[in-house]
Amino acid sequence: MTDRPSWAPQGIDLTVPSVSRIYDYFLGGSHNFEVDREAARLVLQAMPGAPKISQANRAVMHRAVRFAMDRGIDQFLDIGSGIPTFGNVHEVVHRTDPDAHVVYVDNDPVAVAHSRAVLNEAGNTDKAAIAAADLRDPRTVLDNPEVKRLLDFDRPVALLLVAVLHLLSDADKPREVVAALRDVLAPGSVLVVTHATLQFGPTPSAQRGVQEVYQRTSTPLIMRTKEEVERFFDGFELVEPGVVPLPHWRPEVALGDDDDPAVLHGLAGVGLKA
């Protein structure tokens, strides 16, 4: 029988890999099980550059958060936030604005439990919180007490849907989910989306191999095209440069020839609500 770490909530199936724990492993975190590490190793066999996608995804999230802050936004709703490792939204935000409010949302009990522990240890629960809710049911997000406590939807909010919409199948109606969240946002709000794709990366066969690994989790990976990702921004004005591969969204340094082309398997876009 697999030993259960002290930080793992009861009821977690230690035999099934989790997307958030695989992501945690790729970012150098320690809150993952052997089943997650084995899944991660299979991903690496199919696409050795997979961790760089996770890192590029985290980097573009930082750039998008700073974009929102430059517009005066001081409220952040990060849905599908995963397990805290380093460079989390509240850390980026509070360096500039210690009074900004951040709410994380996840439906993974490990992500929720560890996020709560991190925030409690930091002692800033009056500015940042974790809510246990499921993106597939936006009402559970919006009605969560922590969301209501820290966010004022009469003012602009930055809605972060980072590496999460590709975990929703078409049957989950992701466009309707995003629209339901959009409709409660005040004018001036920002939507940030990153999403997996087969369209731009040079190794679609490798990405399909990655998909096969994720089929073993409870949330299989759904690839979408640039045009499909753009539809999530209905009701928003896409800011330049639009929906583009992760490293191409407002890079802070020039892209080098030695950059791993695997990162092109992720798309990023930011929209403004008029």
Whether the full predicted model's pTM is greater than 0.95, yes or no, is no
**Residue-level pLDDT at 54:** 83
The residues, any chain, with a CB within 8 Å of residue 51's CB and separated by 6 or more, are: 26, 27, 44
Provide mean pLDDT across the span 29-34. 79
Which residues, in sequence order, are bridge partners of residue 269? Answer: 193
What mean pLDDT is reported for the chain? 87
Tell me which of 14-28, 92-106, 137-151, 242-256 is least confident.
Answer: 14-28
Q: Is the pLDDT score of 140 beyond 60?
A: yes
Residue 138's nearest CA partner among 171, 182, 196 is 182
Q: Is the pLDDT score of 1 beyond 60?
A: no
Q: Which whole-number Å values give the CA distances from 119 to 7, 115, 184, in the listed order? A: 15, 6, 26
**Cis amide prior to 241 (ω within 30 degrees):** yes
Q: What is the pLDDT of residues 38-95, one digit of tens each?
A: 888 888 887 777 788 888 999 999 999 999 999 999 999 999 998 777 678 999 999 9
Q: What is the pLDDT of residues 243-262, one digit of tens each?
A: 999 999 999 876 655 567 77
Structure token digits, residue 171: 């049957």
Q: Is the pLDDT score of 212 beyond 80?
A: no
Q: Is the pLDDT score of 168 beyond 60?
A: yes
Give 249-255 contacts, CB < 8 A, sequence gap 24+. Answer: 249/60, 249/63, 249/64, 250/63, 250/67, 251/63, 252/63
Q: What is the pLDDT of residues 117-136, one digit of tens each?
A: 878 877 778 999 999 999 99
Q: What is the pLDDT of residues 259-273, one digit of tens each?
A: 677 788 899 999 999
